[in-house]
Amino acid sequence: MKWARRTTSARDRPSIAAGVIPPLLPTLVDRVPQGPDWLHEIKWDGYRIGVYLDKGKVKILTRNLHDWTVRFPTIVAAVAELDATDAIIDGEAFVADDKGLSHFSSLQRALGRGGRRQDIMLAVFDLLKIDGEDLRDRPLVDRRKALVNLLGETPPNGIVLSDEISGGSDILAQVCQFGFEGIVSKLRVSPYRSGRRQEWVKTKCVLSDEFIVIGYEPGNSYGGLGSVLLANVEDGNLVFAGGVGTGFNARTGTDMIRRLKATEAEKSTIPGLKVKGAIWTRPEIVVDVEYRGWTEDHQLRHPSFKGIREDRSVDEFL
């Protein structure tokens, strides 16, 4: 039985306006590809964004094309300084700690109520358009050269270039040892094509993925939260993936239980699914979860909550 969606209506979902380019999304793989054809970069732990510069005005879209310009004042100011009439830049919004590491939880705090949005920076890794010229058909290495030229010797404060990193067969181990999330590897000759592609792949130090919330088990934490029940999508069907009850704190746990109660439903979205004591919700919340693998009955092993993906919608999973 296919999952009958009840999420946002077509009029609520952002349409793809003229000139807007949905992002190229890397495919998750188990091993870092080897050989001179591949270029490797650090995997930034933040929000993927497209940055649009047009005659000094800057617009920022999330990867599901919501306008979040007002949430990134430092990035807006930095991009406005670039020496270009118009440009489309692909990058990641992030917050760095004192060691230069990016953390998704830090970005969420900065975006939250009373957060320091001025701390949010932009890691840039691709340039899709510059001064009226569409670069998407050109090889990645050429687009990166154009990006470096655009940034100049000293990029504006708030922008960093996602540098190429080098290493042998143990490059992932080296990256993990430094505390980064993983590696994104890209074919040097690849053009830019929107959607999930094999020309870009990602490998992670710790397994993590995005899941759809379908309910919760009540508990004694954060106003009644025990664990959050999760599902992923396989061949258009929602499939139960178990629950996550760790990784919450006073802020994220309280926010989660508030959202859960606002989306409660009479029955499970997955037909026939029974979890004793569960309270079901409409499938409207997407969360990021770290885990150590899968059990034989297709449930997450040692999951830990990382955050709510405000930049994702359930519709993207189909």
The domain defined by 208-317 carries CATH number 2.40.10.10: no
Q: Is 261 in the active site?
A: no
Helix (H/G/I), strand (E/B), else coil: 299 = coil
pLDDT in tens, 260-270: 999 999 999 99
- pLDDT for the residue 100: 85
Rounded to a whole number of angstroms, the distance between the first and last alpha carbons of the chain is 14
pLDDT at 318: 67
Sole residue written with tokens 């830090």: 106
CA-CA-CA-CA dihedral for 142, 147, 150, 151, to nearest 10: -140
Max CA distance (Å), the chain: 60
Provide the token pair at 195. 């959607």
CATH of domain 24-204: 3.30.470.30
Please write the tens of the pLDDT for every residue from 164-221.
998 788 899 999 888 888 999 999 999 999 999 999 999 998 888 999 999 999 998 8
CA 86 vs. chain centroid, Å, equals 25
- CA 81 from centroid of its chain's CA atoms: 26
Quote the percentage of the chain above a pLDDT of 90.
Answer: 75
Which pLDDT does position 3 carry in this prediction?
47
Cβ neighbors of 170 (< 8 A, separation 6 or more) are none
Mean pLDDT of all residues belonging to the chain: 91
Q: How many angstroms separate the CA atoms of 268 and 214, rounded?
A: 7
Q: Which two tokens stand for residue 192?
A: 């830019």
51 or 223: which leads in pLDDT: 51
Both tokens assigned to 53: 């510069």
Once rounded to an integer, what is the mean pLDDT over residues 25-40?
94
> Which is it for the CA torsion 167, 168, 174, 175, positive or negative?
positive
Active-site position among 2, 43, 202, 306: 43
Q: What span, in angstroms and rounded, lies between the C-alpha atoms of 76 and 69?
A: 7
| All structural domains of the chain with their residue ranges | 24-204, 208-317
pLDDT for the residue numbered 101: 87
